[in-house]
């Protein structure tokens, strides 16, 4: 049976945990409203809203057990699930620290209430979670039966993972990763081996990210890029060769041979696949020579654990940002810029690394005006339409691999430290980082948030944590 997991933001988890464990040693309750994502890899429930049950009013002495949620509180929460196509999960806490499970009384109460709740919520799924300080167990009910929760991921600057009981340690790790396992342990290396990372764009930035995460031991990589290598970008794409670019054709004086080079040169995702498999022969690599704005392609990232946006179109930014918030998948957007004026003078060169966490105030690209509607419209036009509307093509932008390397190394480091919970929580902060190469300075950039954002807010119209039950901003084909 495939895993069943929960994803919850760090802010939501902090609120829930403080309510369940205020220090009085008593039992407390809540309800989670969640979206759902179902893939061949796993079923994920995505917490959209935490409803805290007030002691004595919403959470009262039980008829069969110690405590129970009142019928009115359950009715209001389940009605909201039915209206918004969300899943209902009752929550309470037990004593203990690293292991937890339901009591016999808990399981009997599930049998009495959850079949009806499936109907009330228009098909569910529904269920219950029980927490200890560092553990969570769950029972999921559907029309087809019940299943146990595998675990929960708290998504934030520092990721945290909870399971019904401590996961067993493996005896050692591969010699390839021995040195880095000295930093974050064998379990940390195990988490990397089980991780699925999506890379959007395999050019100068993406090819570097691809090699770095493969060498870290990431178990699964989904690489998306429709482009082919050519001589003008070979200096920035890791491990690309003159043969990949078919330079013996592209440098021909015959135009028809140069056209063949553009048609037959190797795709960037295939070069990335070669690089990743050399770095880590055990990696499961999915090379997608396509565009992330295609719905079928974007859906293959819905169960990723982390995303890297290394393409700079507005449409790719829009899809990336939607995936981050709709499916609670953290990500980083990376790029660099070398401004040159009409006289050829070089301006303030910078590299940028934007960490985007799925939360209000987590760096949403939409809230921070990094997705521009007018450019989205321009990119949606066909070449003929652009010509009719006097669309001016931009000249090729200056670029160099060393600038790409700055943002890429910072991004890969942030992925590693965030994914394995290694940041110094008292000193590290989320947000954006810019490096100004000519000044040798890194600068932190504050991020904004909008209360009614359609991606990251909790407003009724937003896609936040809705998963499969909300459409992605993609092309159908």
pLDDT at 246: 82
Q: How confident is the model at residue 174 (pLDDT cuts 50, 70, 90)?
A: confident
- Provide the mean pLDDT of the chain: 92
Mean per-residue pLDDT, 140-162: 97
For residue 355, which phi and psi values (nearest 5 degrees)? -80, 125
How confident is the model at residue 383, as a pLDDT? 58
What local confidence, expressed as pLDDT, does residue 52 receive?
Answer: 98
Which of 62-66, 164-168, 389-393 is modeled with the greatest confidence?
A: 164-168
Q: What pLDDT score does 224 carry? A: 98
For residues 220 and 306, give the distance between their C-alpha atoms in angstroms, rounded to a whole number. 11
Q: Encoding tokens for residue 89? A: 């999960």
Given this model, what pLDDT does residue 255 score? 78
Mean pLDDT of 367-376: 88
- Share above pLDDT 90 across residues of the chain, in percent, rounded to a whole number: 78
Burial class (CB in 10 A: 0-12, 13-18, 19+), 288: buried
Retrieve residue 344's tokens. 């050829």
pLDDT of res. 258: 72
| pLDDT of amino acid 318 | 97
Q: What is the pLDDT of residue 168?
A: 81
Q: Are strands 67-69 and 145-148 parallel, antiparallel or unpaired?
A: unpaired
What is the dotted CATH code of the domain comprising 4-162? Answer: 3.40.140
CA distance 271 to 202: 9
Q: Render pLDDT for 11-30 as a digit per residue (tens, 0 to 9).
A: 999 999 999 999 999 999 99
Whether residue 453 is predicted with pLDDT greater than 80 in this model: the reply is: yes
Query: Does the pLDDT at position 372 exceed 70?
Result: yes
Secondary structure (3-state) at 5:
strand
242-285 confidence digits (pLDDT tens): 998 888 777 777 777 777 767 889 999 999 999 999 999 999 99
CA distances from 38 to 2, 137, 291, 431 (A): 10, 20, 22, 30
Domain spanning 175-227+267-445: CATH superfamily: NAD(P)-binding Rossmann-like Domain (3.40.50.720)
381 pLDDT band, cuts 50/70/90, is low
**Helix, strand, coil percent values for the chain (each to nearest 5):** 35, 25, 40
Q: Are 446 and 391 in contact (CB under 8 A)?
A: no
Question: What are the residues whose beta carbons fall under 8 Å from the beta carbon of 250, sequence distance 6 or more?
Answer: 230, 231, 258, 261, 262, 265
Retrieve residue 211's tokens. 């090699």
Number of residues that make up the chain: 477
In the chain, how long is the greatest CA-to-CA distance? 87
According to DSSP, residue 54 is labeled P
**Would you call 381 helix, strand, or coil by DSSP?**
coil
Domain ranges of the chain: 4-162, 175-227+267-445
- Rounded to an integer, the average pLDDT of 51-68 is 92
Residue 205 has pLDDT above 90, yes or no: yes
Share of residues in the chain with pLDDT > 70 (%): 95
Pairing of β 145-148 and β 135-142: antiparallel
Token digits for 91? 């929550």
Q: Which of 252, 43, 300, 301 is nearest to 147 (CA)?
A: 43
- The per-residue pLDDT for range 282-315, each reduced to its tens digit, is 999 999 999 999 999 999 999 999 999 999 899 9
Evaluate if residue 395 carries a pLDDT over 70.
no
Q: What is the pLDDT of residue 390?
A: 46
Distance CA 258, CA 248 (A): 9
Average pLDDT over residues 386-413: 75
More confident residue, 278 or 380: 278
Res. 391 pLDDT band, cuts 50 70 90: very low
* Contact between residue 445 and residue 14 where contact means Cβ atoms under 8 Å apart: no
pTM, 2 dp: 0.94
């Amino acid at each position: 049976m495939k895993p069943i997991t929960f994803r919850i933001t760090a802010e939501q988890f902090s609120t829930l945990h403080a309510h369940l464990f205020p220090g009085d040693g008593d039992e407390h309750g809540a309800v989670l409203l969640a979206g759902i994502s179902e893939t061949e890899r796993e079923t994920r429930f995505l917490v959209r809203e935490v409803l805290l049950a007030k002691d004595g009013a919403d959470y009262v002495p039980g008829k069969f057990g110690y405590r129970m949620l009142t019928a009115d509180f359950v009715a209001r929460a389940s009605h909201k699930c039915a209206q918004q196509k969300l899943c209902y999960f009752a929550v309470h806490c037990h004593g203990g620290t690293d292991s937890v499970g339901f009591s016999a009384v808990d399981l009997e109460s599930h049998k009495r209430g959850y079949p009806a709740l499936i109907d009330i919520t228009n098909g569910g799924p529904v269920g219950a979670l029980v927490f200890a300080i560092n553990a969570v167990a769950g029972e999921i009910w559907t029309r087809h039966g019940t299943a146990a929760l595998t675990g929960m991921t708290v998504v934030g600057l520092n990721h945290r993972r909870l399971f019904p009981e401590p996961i067993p340690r493996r005896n050692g790790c591969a010699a390839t990763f021995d040195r880095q396992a000295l930093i974050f342990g064998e379990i940390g290396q195990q988490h990397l081996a089980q991780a699925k990372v999506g890379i959007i764009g395999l050019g100068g930035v993406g090819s570097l990210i691809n090699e770095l995460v493969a060498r870290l031991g990431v178990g699964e990589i989904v690489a998306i890029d429709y482009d082919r290598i050519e001589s003008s970008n070979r200096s920035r794409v890791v491990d690309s060769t003159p043969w990949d670019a078919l330079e013996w054709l592209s440098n021909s004086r015959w135009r028809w041979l140069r056209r063949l080079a553009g048609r037959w040169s190797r795709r960037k995702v295939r070069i990335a696949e070669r690089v990743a498999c050399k770095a880590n022969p055990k990696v499961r690599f999915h090379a997608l020579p396509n565009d992330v704005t295609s719905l079928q392609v974007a859906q293959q990232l819905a169960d990723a654990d982390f995303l890297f946006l290394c393409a700079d179109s507005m449409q790719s930014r829009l899809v990336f940002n939607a995936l981050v918030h709709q499916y609670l998948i953290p990500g980083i957007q990376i790029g660099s810029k070398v401004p040159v004026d009409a006289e050829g003078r070089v301006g303030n060169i910078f590299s940028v690394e934007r960490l985007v966490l799925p939360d209000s105030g987590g760096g949403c690209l939409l809230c921070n005006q990094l997705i521009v509607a007018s450019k989205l419209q321009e990119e949606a036009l066909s070449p003929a339409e652009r010509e009719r509307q006097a669309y001016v093509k931009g000249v090729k932008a200056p670029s160099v691999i060393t600038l790409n390397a700055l943002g890429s190394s910072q991004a890969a480091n942030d992925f590693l430290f965030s994914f394995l919970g290694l940041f110094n929580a008292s000193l590290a902060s989320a947000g954006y980082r810019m490096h100004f190469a000519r000044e040798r300075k890194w600068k932190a950039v504050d991020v904004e948030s909008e209360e009614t954002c359609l991606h990251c807010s909790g407003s009724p119209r937003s896609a936040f944590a809705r998963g499969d039950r909300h459409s992605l901003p993609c092309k159908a084909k």
